[in-house]
Amino acid sequence: MTKTELLELIKNGENSGVEFKRDVIENRVLAKELVAFANLQGGRVLLGVEDDSSISGITRENLEEWVMTVCRDKIRPAIIPYFEILRDVEPGKDVAVVQVECGWSVHHVWHNNHRTYYIRVGTRIDEASQEELERLFQQRGAFRLETRPVSGSSFHDLDWRRLKDYFKRIRKQPIPKDGDIEGWETLLMNTDFLIENNGKNPVTVAGILLFCPNPNRFLPQAGIDAAAYPGKVKDYAAKERSTLRGPFTPLMANKKCIENGLVEQSIEFIRRNTEVTAHLEGGARRKEHWSYPEEAVRETIINALVHRDYLLSSTDIELSIYEDRLEVISPGRLPNGITPERMKTGCRAARNQLLKDVMRDYGYLEHMGMGVPRKIIRGMLEHNGKEPDLIEDGERFIVRLWK
Query: What is the DSSP code string of 191-255?
Result: TTSB--BTTB-PBBHHHHHHH-S-GGGT-TT-SEEEEE-SSSS--SS-SEEEEE-S-SS-EEETT
Instruction: For residues 16 and 129, state if they share a domain.
Output: yes
Please indicate, yes or no, whether residues 181 and 126 belong to a single structural domain of this protein.
no
For residues 171 and 40, membership in a common domain is answered with no
Tell how far CA 275 is from the center of its chain.
32
CATH number of residue 127's parent domain? 3.30.950.30
Backbone dihedral angles phi then psi of residue 276, each to the nearest 5 degrees:
-125, 120
Do 118 and 173 lie in one domain? The reply is no
Q: How many CB atoms lie within 10 A of CB 85?
A: 14
* Residue 233 sits in the same domain as residue 375: yes
Rounded to an integer, what distance in angstroms lies between the CA atom of residue 36 and that of residue 121?
9
Structural contact between residues 212 and 218, judged by C-beta atoms closer than 8 angstroms: yes
Last residue within a domain, chosen from 180, 199, 217 = 217
Neighbours of 256 (CB within 10 A): 8
Residues 184, 113 share a domain: no
Domain boundary among 109, 141, 173: 141
Q: Report the DSSP pairing between strands 93-101 and 224-228.
A: unpaired
Task: Tell me: do 249 and 396 sit in the same domain.
Answer: yes
Range of the domain at 77: 3-141
Closest among 2, 40, 47, 57 to 26, alpha carbons compared: 47
pLDDT by residue for the chain (403 residues), tens digit each?
Answer: 899 999 999 999 999 999 999 999 999 999 999 999 999 889 999 999 999 999 999 999 999 999 999 999 999 999 999 999 999 999 999 999 999 998 778 999 999 989 999 999 999 999 998 888 887 887 776 567 898 889 889 999 999 999 999 999 999 999 999 889 999 999 999 999 999 877 789 999 999 999 999 999 999 999 999 999 999 999 888 999 999 999 999 998 888 899 999 999 999 999 999 987 766 666 566 667 788 999 999 999 999 999 998 888 778 999 999 999 999 999 988 876 788 898 888 777 778 889 999 999 999 987 666 889 999 999 999 999 999 999 998 889 999 999 9
Instruction: Determine the pLDDT at residue 284.
Output: 61
Same domain, 271 and 398: yes
Q: What is the DSSP letter of 362?
A: T
* pLDDT attached to residue 286: 66
Whether 320 and 298 share a structural domain: yes
Domain check: are 33 and 115 in the same one? yes
Rg from Cα positions in the chain? 26
Residues 252 and 188 both lie in one domain: no
Domain tally, the chain: 3
What is the domain-level CATH number for residue 377? 3.30.565.60
State residue 389's pLDDT score: 96
pLDDT, position 303: 93
Q: What is the SS3 assignment for 74? A: coil
The DSSP call for residue 260 is -
- Which among 166, 198, 217 is the end of a domain? 217
Q: How far apart are CA 12 and CA 221, in angstroms?
A: 40
Strands (E), 41-152: 42-47, 75-76, 82-90, 93-101, 108-111, 114-116, 118-121, 124-127
- Are 109 and 63 in contact by the 8 Å Cβ rule? The answer is no
Closest alpha carbon to 206 in 368, 351, 318: 351
Contact 221, 138 (CB under 8 A): no
Mark whether 213 and 151 lie in a shared domain: yes
pTM greater than 0.85: no
